[in-house]
Structure 1
């Protein structure tokens, strides 16, 4: 198995738990979320397979590297347009997690101060070479994943979980899937798209075991993200919370631990996970911007681009409240799904013509 490929997909699965996906799925729990989650598994695996096996035919090359000898206006437009998807993905995660920190950890701390702390770390990471970014991701996942999986295990084994509520929602399995719920469910498999740049660190072709592991991990992640909050708060009560999984973590206790309330551990672990998620997306966006120019960008121009990133982030913090951010994220998930499908189709077609 290629561990770097698994890291990219697994990171996207973990970050799904805390931000917007659970809220969207629970919102449409009676209107097709169950079927949406079920259909998202084969669709997500299919997109993973076709895109990943195609791009790994060009070992240790990202899209900017494959097109470095082409300097047409169409190439520049293509790279700049798709980088907007990656930048917006990181922006939503960043603004959403800062809202969580301000709401659950320190309501009196200014959000802009939290943003400044995060941006200082993110800008340091995204300017590093792609291989070093992957090494840092490996360290973060190695330190945090066992603890997060332990919290999920505690949730499944908790006596307070109501399996009848989960079964009640499960009875709506034959409802036609809602598009918003389906788009949210497929997002947990979308980490493979980061190979657009991170294929630089992938050596050799991906074997079938990679996709089998992703299938089981994705299935477990999707149903855990959706059903655990319902089991703790009821089929109707789970709808009342803006961040269902954060509230669920606050329902858990570690009686013999130095820190009894799980919510503090939960948020602390996700601080580094969310940081790396934003850094991965913005590193891809920055590399796509670099690849759209003929000459290598100077340090001054790179910092100018980072200044634009910071300015848009500040505007997002000032403009979006929690409700507006959720609405925007819901429609973004639909746009992301369409863009992702088009990316896979166009790239597979282009790669086939190039290799023939």
Structure 2
């Protein structure tokens, strides 16, 4: 079993529990959300399997190394540069969402720009580390935080305040035809596999089938619980009133014998490391893709220029994000991301797979 591949997928699943997935799925609870989850699981597993087949032909190589002698410079620059923008945006949207959560629920008087600067200092340091060290850090964080997050989910499922009638009410709409938005939202929990584009440098052997079986089981549990538990706590109609349903759900959980009775604070503290690591993984991929554009002429000045771009655009985004329509922007990006993944995976499958490694 290749545990590093599992870590990449599980990290993305965990980080999106409190930001994107539950909110948008709950909006479509009567409009095919459950069937959307089924479709998302099927499509996500297919794309993941096809992508793993392609990169298994190039053990120990990331995309910059794979295309180094297979593509001319202008096309290589466009490909790697375009992909880096996609990964940078994925991390930035996650970071903006969590900063908004901390601002709302921890300290509303603390400027968002201050939180962004603090997080950027940590993230920009880690993304420069070798890929092997990044995945070591990922392993440590998941091992330390994973059991506590699972415990909070367990407390939620076994809580006396969980109303199963509300869950069954949503379940009666199982066969309602789905719309596009809940499908693309639910499929985002699988997007961690796309980080193989750089982390394939660590994979020397083909990813075994047991990995996909584990991911299938965990993804079903992740989507079903993150969608239905807030409905069970707040009602089929009440859950949609919250911008962050899982934050309010965590605040409804009491840990009677714990030094901290309100699970909300423990939940948020756990997710600080999870979210920061998720952003770090996305930006590490973006950073390495950009470095691939000038791999023969690597310099610290160019690396610092890339970091300056990350920092400057992030600060601008946190200043302007609230003035736009965040929900509409996120929906548009999630939809674009879904079709982008389909196009990229099938392009890799039909072009890279046919070439000799």
Distance (whole Å) between structure 2 residues aligned to residue 59 and residue 353 of structure 1:
15
Structure 1 residues 167-316: aligned runs within 5 Å: 167-293=168-294, 295-316=296-317
Conserved in 2, the CA contact under 8 Å of 1:33 and 1:181?
yes
Distance (whole Å) between structure 2 residues aligned to residue 296 and residue 323 of structure 1:
39
51-60 vs 141-150, greater mean Cα deviation: 51-60
Shift of 1:6: 0.3
Q: SS of 2:153's equivalent?
A: helix
Work out whether 1:83 is the aligned partner of 2:80. Answer: no
Distance (whole Å) between structure 2 residues aligned to residue 334 and residue 205 of structure 1:
30
Structure 1 partner of 2:54: 54
Structure 2 partner of 1:319: 320
Conserved in 2, the CA contact under 8 Å of 1:290 and 1:296?
no
Per-residue CA deviation, residues 55-114 of structure 1 (Å, 9 max, x unaligned), is 122111110111123442112111111211111100001111000001101111111111
Shift of 1:181: 0.5
Aligned length: 356
Quick one: structure 1 residues 323 and 262, their matched pair in 2 at CA, closer, same or farther if it must change by over 3 Å?
farther
Shift of 1:242: 0.4
Unaligned runs of 5+ in 2: none
187-196 vs 167-176, greater mean Cα deviation: 167-176
Per-residue CA deviation, residues 110-151 of structure 1 (Å, 9 max, x unaligned), is 111111110000001000000110001001111100000000
Conserved in 1, the CA contact under 8 Å of 2:32 and 2:177?
yes
Shift of 1:232: 0.4
Q: SS of 1:256's equivalent?
A: coil
Structure 2 partner of 1:146: 147
Unaligned runs of 5+ in 1: none
Conserved in 2, the CA contact under 8 Å of 1:87 and 1:285?
yes
Distance (whole Å) between structure 2 residues aligned to residue 18 and residue 60 of structure 1:
34
Structure 1 partner of 2:112: 111
Shift of 1:203: 2.3
Conserved in 2, the CA contact under 8 Å of 1:20 and 1:326?
no
Shift of 1:299: 1.2
Conserved in 1, the CA contact under 8 Å of 2:54 and 2:352?
yes
Structure 1 partner of 2:18: 18
127-136 vs 311-320, greater mean Cα deviation: 311-320
Work out whether 1:2 is the aligned partner of 2:2. Answer: yes
Structure 2 partner of 1:348: 349
120-129 vs 317-326, greater mean Cα deviation: 317-326
Distance (whole Å) between structure 2 residues aligned to residue 282 and residue 202 of structure 1:
20
Shift of 1:327: 1.8
Conserved in 1, the CA contact under 8 Å of 2:57 and 2:353?
no
Distance (whole Å) between structure 1 residues aligned to residue 210 and residue 305 of structure 2:
43
Structure 1 partner of 2:29: 29
Work out whether 1:164 is the aligned partner of 2:162. Answer: no
Distance (whole Å) between structure 1 residues aligned to residue 240 and residue 172 of structure 2:
17
Shift of 1:322: 8.9
Shift of 1:209: 0.4
Conserved in 2, the CA contact under 8 Å of 1:11 and 1:273?
yes
Distance (whole Å) between structure 2 residues aligned to residue 265 and residue 177 of structure 1:
35
Q: What is the aligned-residue RMSD (CA, Å)?
A: 1.3
The TM-score normalised by the length of structure 2 is 0.97
266-275 vs 300-309, greater mean Cα deviation: 300-309
Shift of 1:351: 2.2
Structure 2 partner of 1:68: 68
